[in-house]
């Protein structure tokens, strides 16, 4: 517990610690996520390094990913699906106003708690204004949810998240990719 609350501590594997780029990306994710405060985005309370091993102290979540909810038929009826979409839309609006592009909107990165509240997670490949850890010639994301300009390695905008949101919404409403 930290401050009397249950938390999750995330750290890199030994291979991740040895990979300077992975270490940099992890710490950048922690910096970006710790500066976001929104009810539909996971809270990162603290981060740092201990004996060269980076860590993040995050909100402890109970529930399941949107992927698991869809797979296990826990997604509910149309009204509930639309409530999830609205919450995700608000989270995306919030980060886009702060000039952050998530770049990996997919069901695995959306958590649903037992009350139906969603949390957007995993800012590991997010791009914030003036900073991107993507190397030239490399494209990051999950191909099925990536906008064409992202797949092609072209200049991206918040619209890549909107594209992924549309793909995800279709999958959620129809029940298949």
Residue numbers annotated as active site? 104
Long-range contacts of 95-98 (CB under 8 A, 24+ apart): 95/36, 95/38, 95/41, 95/120, 95/126, 95/161, 96/158, 96/161, 98/35, 98/36, 98/128
Q: Are 133 and 115 in contact (CB under 8 A)?
A: no
Q: Strand, helix or coil at 74?
A: coil
Centre a 10 Å sphere on the Cβ of residue 112 and count the other Cβ atoms it contains: 23
Question: CA-to-CA distance for 147 and 66, rounded, in angstroms?
Answer: 20
DSSP symbol at 105:
-
Helix (H) or strand (E) holding 128: strand 127-128
Identify the burial level of 45 via C-beta atoms within 10 angstroms of its C-beta, where 0-12 means exposed, 13-18 middle and 19 or more buried: middle
């Amino acid at each position: 517990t930290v401050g009397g609350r249950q938390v999750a501590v995330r750290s890199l594997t030994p291979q991740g610690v040895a990979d300077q780029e992975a270490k940099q990306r992890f710490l950048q994710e922690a910096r970006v996520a710790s500066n976001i405060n929104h009810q539909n985005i996971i809270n990162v309370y603290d981060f740092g390094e201990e004996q060269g091993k980076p860590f993040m102290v995050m909100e402890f979540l109970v529930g399941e990913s949107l992927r698991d909810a869809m797979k296990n038929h826990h997604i509910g009826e149309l009204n509930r699906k639309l409530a999830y979409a609205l919450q995700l839309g608000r989270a995306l609006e919030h980060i886009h106003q702060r000039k952050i592009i998530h770049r990996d909107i997919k069901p695995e990165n959306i958590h649903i708690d037992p009350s139906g509240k969603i949390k957007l997670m995993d800012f590991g490949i997010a791009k914030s204004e003036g900073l991107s850890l993507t190397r030239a010639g490399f494209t990051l994301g999950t191909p099925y949810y990536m906008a064409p300009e992202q797949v092609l390695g072209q200049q991206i905008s918040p619209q890549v998240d909107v594209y992924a949101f549309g793909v995800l919404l279709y999958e959620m409403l129809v029940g298949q990719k």
